[in-house]
Amino acid sequence: METLVAIVIGALGAASIYCLLRRSVAKFIVGIALMSQAVNLLIFMSAGMTRGEAPLIEGDATTLASGYADPLPQALILTAIVIGFGLLAFTLALSQRAIQSVGSDDLEDFDNTDK
């Protein structure tokens, strides 16, 4: 399972780099969203995969049981999802205004925006 997730992370990263290098603003925004998801999966997998284990200590236990789920990457991912959504919303609003101003979706036309 970990190998499959590593392949998915690599594929998302490669697709995001491909989209970021395109000339279209829409493809650039899709690339940002894909990169955000690839990084979220990478952080999530950094703690290792555990199934059916809660990230909690039992009430009568003094130490963590083996194979517990680490809660820190999960908290980081929740924060990253919120920040990524905010970045995506800001990028969409900014690109919509820029496309209206320039009149094109092509990034090569954005060099004369000081009008």
CATH number, domain of 12, equals 1.10.287
Q: 42-70 pLDDT, tens per residue? A: 988 887 777 766 666 677 777 766 667 77
Query: What is the pLDDT averaged over residues 89-98?
Result: 91
Kindly tell me if the per-residue pLDDT of 14 is higher than 90: yes
Which CA distances in Å does 111 have to 41, 59, 98?
Answer: 35, 62, 12
User: pTM for this one?
Assistant: 0.77
CA 79, chain centre distance (Å):
11
| 90 occurs within a structural domain | yes
Kindly tell me if the per-residue pLDDT of 113 is higher than 60: no
Could you tell me the residue range of the domain that residue 39 belongs to? Answer: 2-49+71-105
Count of structural domains within the chain = 1
Answer yes or no: are the C-beta atoms of 57 and 112 closer than 8 Å. Answer: no
SS3 24: strand
| 30 occurs within a structural domain | yes
| 64 occurs within a structural domain | no
| 66 occurs within a structural domain | no
User: What per-residue confidence (pLDDT) applies to 106?
Assistant: 82
